[in-house]
Amino acid sequence: MKKLNGKIKIKTAIFISGRGSNLKNLLKFSKKKISPISIDLIISDNKYATGLKFSEKFNINKKIFNFNNTKIDSLLLEFIRKKDIKFICLAGFMRILSKKFLKNFNGKIINIHPSLLPKYKGLNTHKKVIQNKDKFSGCSVHYVNTKLDSGKIILKKKVKVYKKDTIRSLSNRVLRAEHKLYPMAILKIFN
Ligand code: GRF
């Protein structure tokens, strides 16, 4: 816990692997008075992740970990505990966290996924939606458990799929919905 503008905030880490648009969106949200979280740490498995630039822009600590290291669980746990992190948001993080890690953060890790779960777990969701001629797609925020994209759903948001949609146009529309949904899900958890 940390006091920010007179309000107690939950110390949070965001895990990323790439672009970081959800990270940027959550950083902006965390600055608002209504936000129950403060973002104190950015973790990446990829030193080339473009989202890491938000560390400087928002003056937030970042740390890059080699997830192929056999001791990654202990290293990550130790680091996160030292930083007093109490909550974790995965945002485009492309690794599966180990059972050991999840057990230590049970119920305190959430993820955003670009489909209406339980439909289309894993990769290439927009391609699958278009191939199957679905009329709707969307995004989901869920708790993270040991199975891929399978934890309890916190909130979902639907978007329409148009006949002329390409993977790019659909993923842009879903991403805009993600940027609304992730803060809403965090508010739902803590309010
Ligand atoms: C988002 O579509 C998210 O749902 C998925 O990966 C993408 C990450 O985008 N898990 P960004 O890095 O937040 O821009």
Q: What is the pLDDT of residues 17-34, one digit of tens each?
A: 999 999 999 999 999 999
Best CA proximity match to 180, nearest among 140, 120, 136, 130 = 140
Cα(8) to centroid(ligand 1), Å: 28
Domain residue spans in the chain? Answer: 1-106, 114-139+157-191
Nearest ligand 1 atom to the CA of 19 is: 12
Quick check: CB of 95 below 6 Å from ligand 1?
Answer: no
The reported pLDDT for the residue numbered 191 is 86
Q: What pLDDT sits at residue 2?
A: 72
Show the low-confidence residues of the chain (pLDDT under 50): none
Ligand 1 center from residue 169 Cα (angstroms): 15
**Which position among 113, 126, 142, 179 bears the catalytic label?**
113
Distance CA 86, CA 69 (A): 24
Q: φ, ψ for residue 14 (rounded to 5)?
A: -110, 130
Distance from Cα 164 to the centre of ligand 1, integer Å: 23
- Number of helices and strands in the chain (H, E): 6, 8
Handedness of CA 17, 140, 122, 36 (dihedral sign): positive
Query: Is 113 known to be catalytic?
Result: yes
| Fold type of domain 1-106 | Rossmann fold (3.40.50)
What pLDDT is recorded for position 5? 66
- In DSSP notation, 47-76 reads TT-GGGHHHHHTT-EEEE--TTSTTHHHHH
Atom of ligand 1 nearest to the CA of 93: 10
149 lines ligand 1 (CB under 6 A): no
CA distance 124 to 139: 13
Q: How far apart are the first and last CA of the chain?
A: 15
Going by C-beta distance under 8 Å and a sequence separation of 6 or more, which residues neighbour residue 75? 65, 69
The region, left, alpha or beta by phi > 0 then psi within -120 to 50, assigned to residue 47 is alpha
pTM score: 0.96
Alpha-carbon span 171 to 114, nearest angstrom:
8
